[in-house]
Amino acid sequence: MTEPISFSWTATPDPAEVTGLLDAVYAVDGRPAPEPDASLPGELRGGQHLFARRADAVVGYAHLNEGDAFGRPVAELFVRPPDRGAGIGAGLAAEVAARAGVSLDDPAADRLRAWSHGDHPAAAGLARRLGFERVRELLRMRRALPGPDEPEFNGPALALPTLPEGVRLRAFVPGQDEAAVVAVNHRAFDWHPEQGAMTEDEVREAETEPWFDPAGFLLAVDASDKLLGFHWTKVHAHGAVGDQPGVPMGEVYVVGVDPAAQGGGLGRALTVAGLRHLADKRGLDRVMLYTEGDNTPAIRLYERLGFARWDSDVQYAH
């Protein structure tokens, strides 16, 4: 007789239970990427955690965050590969919906969202059965980076454009620039479900991460040192998921330009300056980025800079 599945919520999960299940999922799906130190991935910290157990074994897990910038709860669900097809995913979804105060039989739209890493076909099937629709694609793009002694480093794509008159680039100064970055970020990303909600505390928390490098956090300022835009780069020291394990990879983490300074090529100049920093100062030979799948102007810019589509994550709304 098959043991029944039990579900339980906690705000303080045992990280080993979560990462043990995520490692099993990663071994089959290639997503989500495990953290090098076996800690919880950043997107799964905080919020509420749901475990599905058969006897003492964790066979499913879901995370429900505090809500995106528009107040919509967002979930992520995972089922251990050997236990798929037994209704555990549907059980997790029902528990998450109840926790979020949403009835899966209620036709009211877009009060709960859920991510599918890598656009997994099983997730798409479950979404259809439960009345979720595909509403967002987070596209991942990548390109190789030439070394400073290679011709392409100063070629058309990576040649540093001329900055607008009176504008210069400088490095981020911890303890000084957090408020200005957050203010510009809010204006630049007031439409974005996650990025638009960034806080000063979150910037300071990022400053404690091993990957944080103020020299790679480039600020564009005017003659009075007023912030106009920024390019925050990141380095995945152990490599990025889907690439060569253990080989460092750069990331165009965030490029934000104040709407009042847009239209003059500052975004492209900041992007190129960050790419050159990753290649020249950090010695990296590859870089990736995330962009919204419907952000056609951004995708065209990145394609002109030599980026190609890699893969994507999909978000569903009920």
Mean pLDDT over the full length of the chain: 92
Question: Token pair for residue 281?
Answer: 């100062």
With 0-12 / 13-18 / 19 or more C-beta atoms within 10 angstroms meaning exposed / middle / buried, residue 88 is buried
Q: Averaged over 293-298, what is the pLDDT? A: 92
Q: Averaged over 171-176, what is the pLDDT? A: 98
Does position 1 have pLDDT exceeding 60, yes or no?
A: no
Count Cβ atoms below 10 Å from residue 245 Cβ, excluding itself: 9
Of 67, 88, 52, 73, the closest CA to residue 318 belongs to: 73
CA 195 to chain centre: 9
Does position 120 have pLDDT exceeding 90, yes or no?
A: no
Structure confidence at residue 106 (pLDDT): 74
The DSSP call for residue 184 is H
The band of 108, judged by pLDDT with boundaries at 50, 70 and 90, is low
Q: Averaged over 57-70, what is the pLDDT? A: 92
Structure confidence at residue 33 (pLDDT): 75
Question: In sequence order, which residues have a C-beta less than 8 Å from that of residue 138 and are 6 or more positions away?
Answer: 290, 291, 292, 293, 312, 313, 314, 315
Question: In sequence order, which residues have a C-beta less than 8 Å from that of residue 9 and are 6 or more positions away?
Answer: 48, 49, 50, 95, 99
Does position 107 have pLDDT exceeding 70, yes or no?
A: no
Name the helix (H) or strand (E) containing 256.
strand 249-257
Q: What are the tens digits of pLDDT across the range 178-205?
A: 999 999 999 999 988 888 889 999 999 9
